[in-house]
A and B are shown apart, each in its own frame.
Chain A
Amino acid sequence: RKEVEQDPGPFNVPEGATVAFNCTYSNSASQSFFWYRQDCRKEPKLLMSVYSSGNEDGRFTAQLNRASQYISLLIRDSKLSDSATYLCAMIIQGAQKLVFGQGTRLTINP
């Protein structure tokens, strides 16, 4: 079983819609969680960290469910510019490295 799993998509949604995707992890010792955004042929950039209490940044909301071992990203009022691949990542306790999921490709259609 992979350490981190994401639905690769693609997700095609109309502009203005709300879209959400999850990322599941297998190691309960995972301790820090992140969402990265990667545009086509570009490098990943940190979108937001995911806190235990959940956090929001504008139209983006990230949540952590430790009991079910997943994190989620919700995008409200989606814009064309939100089209990208969204990568979840986490640090496993005791391992000094960031482990990425395979990414979820999102396309916002006009």
Chain B
Amino acid sequence: EAGVAQSPRYKIIEKRQSVAFWCNPISGHATLYWYQQILGQGPKLLIQFQNNGVVDDSQLPKDRFSAERLKGVDSTLKIQPAKLEDSAVYLCASSLEWSSVGETQYFGPGTRLLVL
């Protein structure tokens, strides 16, 4: 079974530039998550989709971050404009469904972003 795919794996940009990340979840997984992991910290949920609807985006900095999952499959996360503090690993994860008892989330390899 193919895992969660993400691209690009690495990105270096200058502050105020724009950047986009792509994620393709495991086939059949209805729930997709984007996390931000800053060095030395645990992953922080940015946005969660159930099919193509947003379930939680309370921690997404909406003035500069946006995400979409138009057809309920793959997803893109965009930052425009980027700030130095956005330097982090952006992890995409997916699960079959959302469950309060914790459906296993499978993580992709992440996109490592460096903002100069």
Contacts and interface: CB of A to CB of B under 8 A. Distances in A.
Interface residues of A, number: 25
A102 B37 CA distance: 9
A26 to B, nearest CB: 15
A104 to B, nearest CB: 10
16 contacts: A42-B109, A43-B109, A44-B91, A44-B107, A45-B107, A87-B43, A91-B100, A91-B101, A93-B100, A96-B56, A97-B45, A97-B48, A98-B45, A102-B40, A103-B40, A103-B41
B33 to A, nearest CB: 8
B39 to A, nearest CB: 11
Given A43-B91, A96-B55, A87 B42 contact: yes
Contact of A97 (B40, B42, B56): B56
Interface of A: 4, 6, 8, 31-32, 34, 42-46, 49, 87, 89, 91, 93, 95-103
Residue among B43, B91, B101, B109 with most chain A CB within 10 A: B43
Interface of B: 33, 40-45, 48, 55-56, 91, 98, 100-102, 104-105, 107-110
A8 B107 CA distance: 22
Given A32-B100, A43-B91, A87-B42, 10 more contacts: A43-B110, A44-B107, A45-B107, A87-B43, A96-B48, A96-B56, A98-B33, A98-B45, A101-B42, A103-B41
